[in-house]
Copies of this chain bind each other. A is one copy, B any other.
Amino acid sequence: MSQQTRFLLNESDIPRYWYNAVADSPVAPAPVLNPQTKEPVTPEFLSALFPMELIMQEVSSDRFIEIPEEVREIYKLYRPTPLMRATRLEKALGTPAHIYYKYEGASPSGSHKLNTAVPQAFYNKREGTKALTTETGAGQWGTALAISCSFFDMPLEVYMVKVSFNQKPYRRFLMEAYNAQVFASPTNLTHSGRSILAQDPDSPGSLGIAISEAVEVAALSNGQKKYSLGSVLNHVLTHQSVIGEEALKQMDMAGEYPDVVIGCVGGGSNFAGIAYPFLRENLRNGQRTRLLAVEPNATPSLTRGVYDFDYGDTAKMAPIVKMHTLGSDFIPAPIHAGGLRYHGMAPSLCSFYDQGLIEAVAVPQLATFEAGLLFAKTEGILPAPESSHAIRAAIDEALQAKENGEKRVILFNLSGHGNFDLSSYNAYLNGELVNYEFPEHQIQGIRDRLPMAQQAQVA
């Protein structure tokens, strides 16, 4: 009997609702604060950056949010995505575990990012936004938003971290093919960019700086341009829930239910996308699936950061949120999983982690490349280095199951392919990559540097 490998759904199975996990949180979400006043943000403040519909989704306590028909029409280009059983990987590991993965990399943008890029472009278009601004690191997010903007005939400015801009010209060319304008950040087009360049003309840039630039351009545009973010915020995580909703149905087709669900985390959106619908089943329907977030040990915000209010960006222009953070001035080591090099983490995910509802583990760089290549050689797909963090953890779970002689059903999110990461793979194969120890000293005294430190001492 041959084993079924791919579990495919029909167009009619594309979810009609996004799932907003905050609605099921036992703990109410912390307020989002204005970076200037440090008071809870007003809709006016947010509306300089986001269209009203996304602001409403950001603060919504509704469990389900209806997906507009126009968005579902575009989802049809690549959704539902396949759920795969990794039988060849299982065999290579000699494990009794069953390993499943949800593959988001066959979308036109090559990753899960399109799931939120499409509705963000759609709502902005509907509300009359004239252009969008955003940042991108490795380029997965910028590519997804560029494609979505081309669908809705919406101009897009992308502030791309300079080191990636130079190292990944093909990512830039790809965004330009969809008509996006791409700038190497820090630029001299913004106050934030110029102030960084004044201190360090050779600054390689960072996600934190690029966010500052994109936010500034939108904030100073008199409502003509809005800003679009690819992770961290709650509406972004909500949009990604289509991944987990489909996976629930597909695991049912496979006749199994996962013991553990795994995703990599940078800002948290692909992990939340696959895990939150399973979290709901834990909270509401008595399931006991472990939910495991995997971060690089070079930017271990969940496992090593502090849980407190912090800025989302370097120039302190983005809202202050309560999250596990390494500090908005944290400079991540140059790991090749560029999408995970962020100092903070989605507030909802941090709250669930703080409540003990999800687990986290940090893994070193070399072990993720080893896992990614084993996956490529057995399952065929070369994964993005970000996704290889999830693969590493899935393999470790499968090996543990082997050691224990126990069946374990593992599901992970293969959030993207590695077609634009080949210089990284080449460096790994040439022995040029290293592991990074977490720079302990960088977070010493961090609490005193947090935006609410003074207030906390007063209170």
- A380 lies within 8 A of B147 (CB): yes
**Which one of A76-84, A206-214, A243-251 contacts B?**
A76-84
Name the interface residues of A276-333: CB closer than 8 Å to any CB of B. none
Among A74, A88, A177, A178, max chain B CB count under 10 A is at: A177
Interface string of A96-132 (1 = CB under 8 A from B): 0000000000111110001000000000000000000
A377 in contact (CB, < 8 A):
yes
Interface of A is mostly: helix
- A2 lies within 8 A of B422 (CB): no
How many angstroms between the C-alpha atoms of A173 and B432 in the bound complex?
Answer: 14
- B429 lies within 8 A of A377 (CB): no
Interface string of A140-180 (1 = CB under 8 A from B): 00000001001100000000000000000110011011110
Asked, given contacts A73-B2, A77-B5, whether A174 binds B11 with beta carbons under 8 Å apart, the answer is: no
A5 to B, closest residue via Cβ: B76
Q: Count the copies.
A: 2
Interface string of A396-425 (1 = CB under 8 A from B): 000000000000000000000001101101
A8 in contact (CB, < 8 A):
yes
A52 in contact (CB, < 8 A):
no
- A425 lies within 8 A of B177 (CB): yes
Whole-angstrom distance between the Cβ of A348 and the nearest chain B Cβ: 29
- 21 A-B residue pairs with Cβ-Cβ distance under 8 Å, sorted by A, are A2-B69, A2-B73, A5-B11, A5-B77, A8-B10, A77-B380, A78-B380, A106-B106, A108-B379, A108-B380, A109-B380, A150-B376, A151-B380, A169-B423, A170-B170, A174-B419, A176-B429, A177-B382, A177-B425, A177-B429, A419-B419
- A11 partner residues in chain B, CB cutoff 8 A: 4-6
- B76 lies within 8 A of A179 (CB): no
Name the interface residues of A45-87: CB closer than 8 Å to any CB of B. 69, 72-74, 76-78, 84
- B10 lies within 8 A of A170 (CB): no
A435 in contact (CB, < 8 A):
no
Interface string of A170-203 (1 = CB under 8 A from B): 1001101111000000000000000000000000
Interface string of A349-377 (1 = CB under 8 A from B): 00000000000000000000000010011
